[in-house]
Amino acid sequence: MPDPRVFFCDARDDVRAALVAKLAAQRNALAKRIVRDGVLAEERTIAADTVAGDFVDHLLTAMERRSYVGILQWVDRTRQRFRDVVPVHSMLASGVRGVSGTLRAWEVPAAELAAELESLADAIDATLLHWYLVPLDAALDEEIDADVDRLLGTLASCDCYTRDHSQAVAEASARVARLLSFSGAGVNFVARSGALHDIGKTTVGLDVLNAPRALAPHEWVAMREHAAAGAAIVGAIESLRPFAPIVRAHHERFDGRGYPDGLMGSGIPLAARIVAAVDAFGAMIDERPYSPAMSVDDAIDELVRHSGTQFDPIVVEALIESLRMTAFRSPSGAL
């Protein structure tokens, strides 16, 4: 069962329940919209209608509970069942975006629910085999790993803590991607993105990077530049170029208040949303000279508190589920 802390209650729950009830009343119309938006006319079949109807039932339950990991696993099982009949992933991802558009058009404020559905559509897309267009080539895989290791070696020469933290983020991000039903290529992409996310800190002065205190405002300005700097470093290496947008976006926020570009919701690459949540969790549970470590439970509570604002709700749910199964290895030895 998903961690019950994901199903927290607040003033928005009455609105959520009302919106889900309204969608439930339109259940058949939504199923038809999913088929219409997501399947070419010549591919519309009884199987497509069946998949869409079942999906709407699962979707309404997931929206009510704020729990989406299970529906992604259902999508993959359904793809296997109907793989020769209907393009399940593209149909459902397009259909979910259509439902999100329906919510945004209603007079009742529904931006939070609409954003969750757009994130779900991204996650469905991300389970496709060729996600992120990283070539499935053994020689290129070796080249990518060699270049990642070389950059992590450079990072270690500046700050061993950040290198170890980056490796821990890579491992935990891969676990989250697996829970979200990513393909093997997608999991590898997310893991490498996690390993590279802080590479821009090699451009930050050691006096700022290793300051034994909270940073001053002007030092935070310098520190915040590491995301864009890391993207420039990664983008200059041909084998690592696909990872540059993820490195640049790992401090964006789901509500659009992050940096460096102020991206919002599904405008942030899904891999970056995964790395952002895992990175923040790792920072919270680790002991630093200017910041005592939080307990794992307190850090999970922080993730939940900022779900839908700082973090993607679907990613938060998957991260919490992954923590229930596997401990997070932080540089200081905490869980």
Q: What is the pLDDT of residues 3-47, one digit of tens each?
A: 444 444 444 678 888 889 999 999 999 999 999 988 888 888 999
- Which string of b and e fits 163-194 if b means at least 16 CB within 10 Å? bbbbbbbbebbbbbbbbbbbbebbbbbbbbbb
Which domains does the chain carry?
Answer: 4-128 (1.10.490), 132-325 (1.10.3210.10)
Coil, strand or helix: which one is 291?
A: strand
In angstroms, rounded to a whole number, what is the distance separating the alpha carbons of residues 176 and 154?
Answer: 27
**Tens of pLDDT along 292-314?**
889 999 999 999 999 999 999 99
Structure tokens at 88: 């399940």
**Residue 59 CB partners (closer than 8 Å, separation 6+):** 71, 96, 99
The alpha carbon dihedral of 203, 207, 211, 215 has a sign of negative
pLDDT of residue 289: 67
Confidence of residue 137 (pLDDT cuts 50, 70, 90): low
pLDDT of residue 5: 43
- pTM comes to 0.87
pLDDT of residue 10: 47
Catalytic residue among 79, 201, 248, 250: 201
| DSSP category for residue 256 | S
Coil, strand or helix: which one is 307?
A: strand
pLDDT of residue 328: 64
The alpha carbon dihedral of 133, 137, 139, 141 has a sign of positive
Whether residue 201 lies in the annotated active site: yes
**Tens of pLDDT along 67-101?**
999 999 899 899 889 888 888 988 999 999 999 99
Higher pLDDT, 279 or 219: 279
Q: Taking 70 as the threshold, does the pLDDT of residue 208 lie above it?
A: no
**Tens of pLDDT along 48-70?**
999 999 999 999 999 988 899 99
In angstroms, rounded to a whole number, what is the distance separating the alpha carbons of residues 314 and 269?
Answer: 13
What is the average pLDDT score of the chain? 86
Other C-beta atoms closer than 10 Å to the C-beta of 307 total 24
Higher pLDDT, 333 or 237: 237
